[in-house]
Amino acid sequence: MATYEYRCADCGRFEVHLPIGSAPTVCDCPECHRAARRVFSSPHLTRVPSTLSAALSREEQSQEAPEVVTSLPPRQRRRPPHPAVSRLPRP
């Protein structure tokens, strides 16, 4: 279901939940039952998960002021190979 917004001249804005693509250009106002025209508004983007929001803000900030690397990261220790790997056939 999609949320469509309509504006009544007397009562103001109201929302209607309808299947996607089935919204008429004119809908009856739920309060005064007069014809209300459909209004195109921005989608509700406030329900973005906090981790995604943080990642998007970091990505946006890095475009204007990227972090400068002053040294190489510490090298990770390599694990010794598993003993079973030595018994595998070699090409």
List residues bridging with 33 in a β-sheet.
none
- Confidence band, pLDDT 50/70/90 cuts, at residue 67: confident
Quote the pLDDT of residue 45: 62
Taking alpha carbons only, the member of 28, 21, 22 closest to residue 6 is 28
Residue 68 pLDDT > 80: yes
Give the model confidence (pLDDT) of 4-63 as tens digits: 999 999 999 999 999 988 899 999 999 999 999 999 877 766 677 889 888 988 888 888
Q: What per-residue confidence (pLDDT) applies to 44?
A: 65
pTM of the model: 0.47
